[in-house]
Amino acid sequence: MTTATPLLKVTGLKVAYGGIQAVKGISFEVRQGELVSLIGANGAGKTTTLKAITGLQNVAEGDIEYLGRSIRGQGPWDLVRQGLVMVPEGRGVFARMTIAENLQMGAFVRNDDQIGRDIENVFGIFPRLKERRNQLAGTMSGGEQQMLAMGRALMARPKLLLLDEPSMGLSPMMVDKIFDVVADIYKRGVTVLLVEQNASRALQLAKRGYVMESGEMSMSGDADQLLKDPKVRAAYLGE
């Protein structure tokens, strides 16, 4: 892979649930070292797109290339092993395990002696998790569970981190905290594809952005240009 090769390249992706076309032939890419935001209303097909990339949903047509090679048809575990890691909508923490155990689970694909050190790194990013390391994940607040889900994903040492609506359902203070952490993770060198309904915050953070509408990619460009665009402002920024 040369530096010009995108880390992730999606071409003509179509995904259907039975007869319902949820994703209708979209193309986009994420380059090494970028933070790219994918915004769109409820039901636009954003989650379906992430599921198709991570092998959780069948692809009807099109291709997905990661690190310069097609990954279409590969399963989620293989992809995590290659550094393609998703934090799902709704967090998906293991409710009956402690925070520390959840973080250990994140390292399931690894077989090295750095796991303990990486857990300490995650505690450095999220001191709250360290304070509560022995608490059951299911008893934590939504914001804390989001932190844990992100910490667990970092334990897999992602090259590309896919975040599905990390700010959903959180208090304004927690939303600030989560966006700060996304920026921090990105500054540490992880390439990020951020799916958000909070278009304003997502585009402020990103270098480039894509807008999805009814299963299609309706706009794309530099995030600051999208933020200024009257159509984006009217549809997604409540103006």
Q: Which residues bind to ligand ATP, rule: CB under 6 A?
A: 17, 20, 22, 40, 42-48, 89, 197
* C-beta closer to ligand ATP: residue 17 or 108: 17
* C-beta closer to ligand ATP: residue 24 or 110: 24
* C-beta closer to ligand ATP: residue 99 or 195: 195
Contact (CB, 8 A) for 15 and 52:
yes
Please state the closest distance from residue 160 (CB atom) to ligand ATP, in A: 18
* C-beta closer to ligand ATP: residue 144 or 196: 196
* C-beta closer to ligand ATP: residue 48 or 102: 48
Longest dimension (CA), the chain: 52
Residue 97 structure tokens: 């395990």
Please state the closest distance from residue 178 (CB atom) to ligand ATP, in A: 16
Please state the closest distance from residue 117 (CB atom) to ligand ATP, in A: 35
Cα pseudo-dihedral 1, 72, 102, 97, rounded to 10: -170
Beta-strand relationship, 160-164 and 84-87: parallel
Please state the closest distance from residue 194 (CB atom) to ligand ATP, in A: 13
Contact (CB, 8 A) for 31 and 222:
no
- Smallest CA-to-CA distance from 152 within 118, 193, 200, 196 is with 118
* C-beta closer to ligand ATP: residue 42 or 111: 42
CA distance 157 to 112: 12
Please state the closest distance from residue 223 (CB atom) to ligand ATP, in A: 19
CA distance 5 to 23: 24
Please state the closest distance from residue 200 (CB atom) to ligand ATP, in A: 16
Per DSSP, 3 falls in state T
Query: What Cα–Cα distance (Å) separates residue 147 from each residue in 42, 129, 156?
Result: 23, 8, 15
Contact (CB, 8 A) for 134 and 101:
no
